[in-house]
């Protein structure tokens, strides 16, 4: 193969002449079958052109004649321009243009002055096509690169548009967040959710979810910030929001902040729902003022906790009296102050009320046995004012209406004891208290001990029937009876131990008096019996018949 310009021998496949630089135009070798199909297609196109030309009265041979060289056709520039004019202007715009895109025809610079096109038969359209086909391989590479660039641009644009659509899709962002959370990648889930909420900020459930993700990664301040931003005055949604906020604060032990939030809340429904976190001041059942009757003052709190109070004007704290039952305000002046501490340790403000009670105070009880030490037991009696009731305690505490009522003379307890008596009028006005302290020292010549007395009474009770054994077990109910020697009494000049009967519950092990009282002589093992009292207040021993066991 030789260079067409300098006639220098070229290597196989060489694209440029190394001597003169001339571009070597390669003529493709068509397979016969492909070449025939191309030729047939171009002939059909040429026939269509001729038919259109005839319809527009354009002579077939009106174009300038071309030079012919055997099987090659040679065109001058003027002939080429005429062909372009024929294709671009003279043909009507009909269905023909659906098959041919004339805008893609080569421009003037594409043609050489006297370019030879290998061609067998056909007309101008075939020549134009083959001219492009015969262009150099460099041109084909450029066209291919351009095609790749265009396709790549389209693909890139498609990807960018698709990505942009995803970035601006609320559903896509939410789904990505849920997928990330399922993999416990909460940081990524937060990123997606925040993006989703910039697209649609109306979904409160997604905001709850965002707060929960913040909470899971330890960013509780951000979680609280999101949740607090959802409080909008709607009771239903705010109730849920407050619950989520308080759950975080409770976990932190920050009950004070909960209390502050509720203090700023005006929704009664929400305040009622979360009242356990609020320490309201105690409520008084009676307003302060002047009364002619005893006031039974009741204090109540809004939730579980403890009320502390004073009645002398002192400031209550956790060392003050604990409210457990109504406070009886009798004759005199009272300044009652109270404070409430709820189960979370929140302390309310102190509330205060003043009362003036104008009622008659009953006289205090009169004890007929003075305080002191005794070797012989005495019976303790108290004078009860008419229309009044006397109550007493033996542990040093102040009696109330819930204490033991004085009804009959009391046997003097063994060892040391302290009695406190108070009179209550019919108007529930309490008197001042009367107190007495006793010490009973037993004679040294006794032969029966307190333990002996308890055993003697147990045997006596067993012989009476009703006990299954001497351990006090009963035949009719579970549990058992116990016998305790606690006091002493003088009967007909002889000293007896006083033994009380108790019932012990088998489950709680608590003991209660049954009401039966027995006595056993300190000097005679055979003198055992029940202890009873006559109308004059004198004790005596009763011996019951025994039942053979």
Mind giving me the DSSP string for 286-326? S-SEEESS-EEE-EE-SSSEEEEEESBSPPP-TTSEEP-S-
Which is more confident, 450 or 474?
Answer: 450
The number of beta carbons lying within 10 Å of the beta carbon of residue 226 is 24
Residues 326 and 421 reside in one and the same domain? no
Residues 266 and 325 reside in one and the same domain? no
pLDDT score of 363: 93
pLDDT score of 523: 96
Which is more confident, 349 or 57?
Answer: 349
Residues 54 and 99 reside in one and the same domain? yes
pLDDT score of 116: 46
In sequence order, the 6+-apart residues with CB closer than 8 A to the CB of 68 are 74
Tell me the CATH number at 407.
2.60.40.10
Q: Average pLDDT for residues 32-44, to the nearest whole number?
A: 57
pTM of the model: 0.45
Helical H runs in 314-399? none
Q: Is the CB of residue 415 less than 8 Å from the CB of residue 437?
A: no
CA atoms within 13 A on the CB side of 241: 24
Q: Which of 309, 333, 354 is the last residue of a domain?
A: 354
Tell me the CATH number at 213.
1.25.40.10
Residues 423 and 458 reside in one and the same domain? no
Distances (CA, A) of 221 to 191, 217, 245: 17, 11, 11
β strands within 471-510, DSSP E? 480-491, 494-504
Which is more confident, 362 or 37?
Answer: 362
Residues 182 and 270 reside in one and the same domain? yes
Residue 60 pLDDT class (50, 70, 90 cuts):
very low
Which is more confident, 547 or 195?
Answer: 195
The number of beta carbons lying within 10 Å of the beta carbon of residue 448 is 21
pLDDT score of 91: 45
Residue 128 phi/psi, 5-degree rounding, is -60, -45
Residue 514 pLDDT class (50, 70, 90 cuts):
very high
**Least confident stretch, 159-168, 220-229, 428-437:** 159-168
Q: Average pLDDT for residues 13-24, to the nearest whole number?
A: 71
Q: Which of 308, 334, 354 is the last residue of a domain?
A: 354
Inform me whether the pLDDT recorded for 359 exceeds 90: no
User: What span, in angstroms and rounded, lies between the C-alpha atoms of 487 and 379?
Assistant: 10
- 10, part of any domain: no
Residues 465 and 431 reside in one and the same domain? no
Residues 111 and 178 reside in one and the same domain? no
Q: Which of 217, 251, 277 is the last residue of a domain?
A: 277
User: What span, in angstroms and rounded, lies between the C-alpha atoms of 142 and 322?
Assistant: 99
- 510, part of any domain: yes
Q: Average pLDDT for residues 446-468, to the nearest whole number?
A: 92
The number of beta carbons lying within 10 Å of the beta carbon of residue 68 is 9
- Give the pair of three-digit tokens for residue 449: 């001990």
Residue range of the domain that includes 114: 34-135
- Considering only the C-alpha atoms of the chain, give the largest distance between any 2 of them, rounded to a whole number of Å: 173
- 19, part of any domain: no
State what percent of residues in the chain have pLDDT above 70: 75
- 321, part of any domain: yes
- 233, part of any domain: yes
Q: Average pLDDT for residues 484-505, to the nearest whole number?
A: 95
Residues 186 and 270 reside in one and the same domain? yes
Angle at 68 between CA 74 and CA 121, to 5 degrees: 90
Instruction: Look at residues 489, 492, 547, 476 and name the one whose alpha carbon lies nearest to residue 518.
Output: 489
pLDDT score of 128: 57
Residues 208 and 272 reside in one and the same domain? yes
Residue 153 pLDDT class (50, 70, 90 cuts):
confident
Residues 397 and 484 reside in one and the same domain? no
Inform me whether the pLDDT recorded for 231 exceeds 70: yes
User: What span, in angstroms and rounded, lies between the C-alpha atoms of 471 and 51?
Assistant: 137
**Least confident stretch, 37-46, 332-341, 419-428:** 37-46
Inform me whether the pLDDT recorded for 70 exceeds 70: no
- What average pLDDT does the chain have? 82
- 15, part of any domain: no
Inform me whether the pLDDT recorded for 403 exceeds 90: yes
The number of beta carbons lying within 10 Å of the beta carbon of residue 19 is 12
**Torsion angle of C-alpha atoms 425, 426, 427, 428, degrees rounded to 10:** 60
pLDDT score of 525: 95
Q: Average pLDDT for residues 458-486, to the nearest whole number?
A: 89
Which is more confident, 485 or 199?
Answer: 485
**Least confident stretch, 98-112, 357-371, 438-452:** 98-112
State what percent of residues in the chain have pLDDT above 90: 51
The number of beta carbons lying within 10 Å of the beta carbon of residue 367 is 17
Residues 299 and 252 reside in one and the same domain? no
Helix (H, G, I), strand (E, B) or coil at 151: helix
User: What span, in angstroms and rounded, lies between the C-alpha atoms of 485 and 450?
Assistant: 6
Which is more confident, 263 or 126?
Answer: 263
Q: Average pLDDT for residues 404-432, to the nearest whole number?
A: 93
What angle separates helix 170-182 from helix 186-199, to the nearest 10 degrees?
160
**Least confident stretch, 129-143, 174-188, 314-328:** 129-143
pLDDT score of 325: 93
User: What span, in angstroms and rounded, lies between the C-alpha atoms of 359 and 339?
Assistant: 28
In sequence order, the 6+-apart residues with CB closer than 8 A to the CB of 94 are 52
**Least confident stretch, 103-117, 238-252, 355-369, 498-512:** 103-117
Residue 127 pLDDT class (50, 70, 90 cuts):
low
pLDDT score of 322: 96
User: What span, in angstroms and rounded, lies between the C-alpha atoms of 192 and 217?
Assistant: 15
Inform me whether the pLDDT recorded for 83 exceeds 70: no
- 302, part of any domain: yes
Q: Is the CB of residue 216 less than 8 Å from the CB of residue 223?
A: no
Tens-digit pLDDT profile for residues 297-321: 999 998 999 999 999 999 999 999 9
How many domains does one find in the chain?
Answer: 5
User: What span, in angstroms and rounded, lies between the C-alpha atoms of 530 and 522?
Assistant: 15
Residue 47 pLDDT class (50, 70, 90 cuts):
low
Residues 400 and 459 reside in one and the same domain? no
Q: Average pLDDT for residues 115-141, to the nearest whole number?
A: 56
- Give the pair of three-digit tokens for residue 530: 């029940």
pLDDT score of 276: 87
Distances (CA, A) of 68 to 74, 75, 82, 117, 154: 6, 9, 17, 11, 45
- 11, part of any domain: no
Which is more confident, 28 or 321?
Answer: 321
Q: Which helix (H) or strand (E) holds 170?
A: helix 170-182
- Give the pair of three-digit tokens for residue 285: 């059942």
């Amino acid at each position: 193969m030789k260079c067409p310009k300098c006639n220098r021998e070229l290597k196989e496949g060489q694209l440029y002449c190394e001597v003169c630089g001339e571009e070597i135009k390669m003529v493709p070798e068509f397979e016969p079958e492909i070449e025939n199909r191309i030729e047939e297609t171009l002939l059909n196109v040429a026939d269509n052109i001729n038919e259109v030309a005839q319809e527009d009265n354009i002579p077939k041979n009106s174009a300038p004649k071309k030079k012919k060289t055997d099987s090659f056709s040679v065109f001058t520039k003027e002939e080429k321009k005429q062909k372009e004019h024929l294709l671009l202007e003279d043909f009507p715009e009909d269905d023909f243009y659906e098959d041919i895109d004339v805008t893609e025809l080569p421009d003037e610079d594409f043609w050489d002055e006297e370019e030879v096109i290998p061609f067998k038969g056909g007309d101008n359209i075939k020549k134009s096509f083959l001219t492009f086909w015969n262009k150099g391989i460099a041109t084909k590479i450029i066209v291919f690169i351009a095609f790749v660039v265009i396709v790549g641009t389209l693909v890139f644009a498609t990807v960018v548009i698709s990505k942009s659509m995803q970035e601006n899709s609320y559903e896509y962002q939410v789904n990505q967040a849920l997928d990330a959370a399922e993999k416990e990648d909460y940081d990524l889930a937060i990123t997606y959710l925040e993006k989703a909420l910039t697209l649609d900020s109306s979904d409160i459930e997604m905001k709850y979810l965002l707060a929960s993700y913040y909470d899971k990664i330890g960013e509780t301040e951000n979680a609280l910030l999101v949740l607090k931003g959802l409080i909008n005055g709607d009771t239903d949604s705010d109730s849920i929001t407050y619950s989520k906020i308080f759950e975080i604060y409770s976990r932190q032990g920050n009950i004070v902040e909960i209390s502050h939030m509720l203090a700023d809340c005006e929704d009664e429904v929400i305040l009622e729902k979360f009242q356990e976190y609020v320490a309201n001041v105690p409520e008084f059942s009676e307003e302060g003022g002047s009364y002619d009757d005893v006031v039974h003052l009741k204090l109540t709190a809004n939730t579980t906790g403890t009320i502390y109070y004073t009645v002398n004007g002192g400031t209550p704290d956790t060392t003050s009296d604990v409210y457990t039952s109504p406070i009886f305000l009798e004759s005199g002046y009272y300044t009652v102050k109270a404070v409430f501490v709820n189960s979370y340790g929140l302390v309310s403000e102190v509330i205060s009320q003043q009362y003036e009670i104008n009622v008659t105070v009953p006289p205090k009880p009169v004890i007929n046995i003075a305080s002191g030490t005794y070797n012989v037991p005495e019976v303790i009696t108290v004078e009860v004012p008419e229309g009044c009731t006397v109550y007493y305690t033996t542990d040093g505490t102040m009696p109330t209406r819930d204490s033991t009522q004085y009804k009959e003379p009391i046997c003097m307890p063994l060892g040391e004891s302290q009695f406190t008596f108070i009179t209550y009028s019919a108007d529930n006005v309490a008197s001042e208290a009367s107190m007495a302290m006793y010490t009973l020292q037993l004679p040294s010549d006794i032969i029966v001990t307190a333990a002996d007395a308890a055993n003697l009474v147990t045997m006596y009770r067993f012989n009476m029937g009703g006990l299954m054994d001497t351990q006090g077990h009963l035949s009719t109910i579970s549990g058992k009876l116990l016998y305790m020697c606690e006091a002493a009494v003088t009967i007909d000049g002889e000293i007896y131990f006083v033994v009380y009967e108790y019932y012990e519950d088998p489950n709680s092990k608590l003991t209660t008096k049954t009401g039966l009282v027995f006595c056993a002589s300190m000097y005679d093992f055979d003198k055992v019996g029940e202890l009873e009292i006559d109308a004059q207040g004198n004790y005596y021993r009763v011996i019951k018949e025994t039942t053979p066991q």
